[in-house]
Amino acid sequence: MSLLHRRGTLLTVLFLALGTNAMGARLVIPGLTLESGFLVQPGPDASILYAEPRAKPGDWVLSLRAGALRVGGEALPLAEIRDTYYQIEGGALRGRVGFQSLSWGETFGFFIADLPNPRDWRDPLLLNVGFVKKPVFMGQLQWFGEASSVQAFVTPLTRHQDFLPGVETDIPGRRALDSIGRDSEAGVRASRLWDFGLDGSIFVISHLDRALVLDPGRVLSAGMTASQAVSDRWVVRTDQVWTGGAQGVDWHGVAGLDWSPDADLTVGTQIQHGPELWGASLRVARRNVADRWDLEAFCFTGLGGPSGGGSAGEFWIQPKLTYNTADGISVSLRYDWIETPGSAPKNGFFQAVTDSDRALLWVAFRY
């Protein structure tokens, strides 16, 4: 029996994507960039259909998402502002006001330092960072030096994370985020590239707890991210975050090592730890096989934790195969083989997604 038919919960998804960001079409003309795309995910639990046009007229970036989410036969409208902001840049300073997404961190797969934005977990299939990050209204100021930068932001009112109906109602203490001050977030990050090649950042952020099942209590997180190329083949990277709140201080960390013997092969390993959750991951990517094929595989396994935590026994293997034509069309097939202990999703890394195996097939055209 083939892997694809190993379980009865196989979901087959046809994902049509156009564009450089693999989620839309991009048309660039002087002074204006337009992006749009759509995604169809049929499945027994949920399906999503949306368009996300994006434009860059002058100093503005405008992006909206509109569509529908179907859960258990019930259709829900999907309409929200994505990255939509005004930008001023002069000399070493850059300021932005509006709905924005910030990206912090150096590691892949699990983004523990990527704290400024809440997440949209309603997509149970794709696990696409660009999709799940929820832009929030903020003011952001960045200073760029010769080898350093400082970034500060303040969010008057943050937003809740989104979950599928049913999950959302189970979150204790969920309340409206409508009080400036009580529900504001702010953070600052300083980065520097040292002469010997270390690219490091330290940050501190006052935010609402983004743990998936907790009430939105306030916490303070501080952390560091770092990466360094060692010789011309190795890259070391790490994110470390300490989060303090009413329940004490938690320490989460991810450390990884990438090896690239040539331009087409990358092998990356990571180990991550937290108060309860430990895991290890491996990523192998080989490009330009027979000048047409890209092969990639991501593998994660839960290692348990100091308290015998919930991630022990979980594993996730995600092979991906892409065929590239000469004229920009590519066809990709990805398979997710997920195992969690017992029959239901556990309180581990995968609790936000279904533990069902799934396959995704998509066609992309870049122009």
Residue 41 sits in the site that holds another protein (CB under 8 A) = no
Contact with another protein (CB under 8 A) among 86, 89, 180, 306: 89
Contact stretch for another protein (CB under 8 A) within 17-25, 39-47, 159-167, 331-339: 17-25
Residue 168 or 294: the one with the smaller Cβ distance to another protein is: 294
Which ranges in the chain belong to alpha helices (H)?
A: 129-132
Q: How many CA atoms lie within 13 A of 228 on its CB side?
A: 12
Residue 278 or 300: the one with the smaller Cβ distance to another protein is: 300
Residue 323 vs residues 17, 19, 20, 334, 358: alpha-carbon distances, Å = 15, 16, 16, 12, 20
Residue 178 sits in the site that holds another protein (CB under 8 A) = no
SS3 of 162, please? strand
Min dist CB 189 to another protein, Å, is: 8
Contact stretch for another protein (CB under 8 A) within 71-79, 125-133, 178-186, 207-215: 125-133
Residue 92's identity, in one-letter code, is A
Alpha-carbon Rg for the chain, nearest whole angstrom, is 21
Residue 320 sits in the site that holds another protein (CB under 8 A) = no
Contact stretch for another protein (CB under 8 A) within 73-81, 167-175, 180-188, 255-263: 255-263
Q: Give 29-95 as a 3 state SS string.
A: ECCEEEEECEEECCCCCEEEEEECCEECCCCEEEEEEEEEEEECCEEEEEEEECCEEEEEEECCEEE
Residue 139 or 245: the one with the smaller Cβ distance to another protein is: 139
Q: How many CA atoms lie within 13 A of 261 on its CB side?
A: 4
User: What residues have CB less than 8 Å from 340, skipping those under 6 apart?
Assistant: 313, 314, 346, 348, 350, 355
Contact with another protein (CB under 8 A) among 199, 209, 250, 276: 199
Positions touching another protein (CB under 8 A) are 20-22, 89, 91-92, 94, 101, 103-106, 108, 128-130, 133, 142, 144, 147, 149, 151, 189, 191, 193, 197, 199, 201, 227-229, 231-235, 237, 258, 260-263, 324, 326-328, 330, 366-367
